[in-house]
Amino acid sequence: MEMLQEMLEDLTIESQFESGVQHLLRGEYHVHNVFSGECLQEWGVPFIAVRESSQMTYMPEMLDMLKQARREKVANIPPRTKTS
């Protein structure tokens, strides 16, 4: 979760930087919005969706199934062989 928040903050900083560059150029050059304006909101949508989905609660039966699947996956990993 912390990494997600940091990414959202990075997007905000990029947006502010881009807006600052556009302000400095004051119409001398056309700069396309990549992170600022409406683009910032579009960039944020997937991050917010991940954050919200990670806060979902699972039924105990589902958690048991996930744990068992993980144990079976680990049990089925073949041992490493040494390479010379």
pLDDT tens per residue, range 31-84? 788 888 888 888 888 888 887 777 667 778 888 888 888 888 878 877 777 765
For 40, phi and psi rounded to 5 degrees? -60, -45
pLDDT recorded at residue 49? 83
Contact 36, 19 (CB under 8 A): yes
Alpha-carbon gap, residue 35 to 12, rounded angstroms: 8
pTM assigned to the model = 0.55
pLDDT recorded at residue 84? 57
Report domain extents, the chain.
Answer: 2-75
pLDDT recorded at residue 72? 85
Contact 43, 49 (CB under 8 A): no
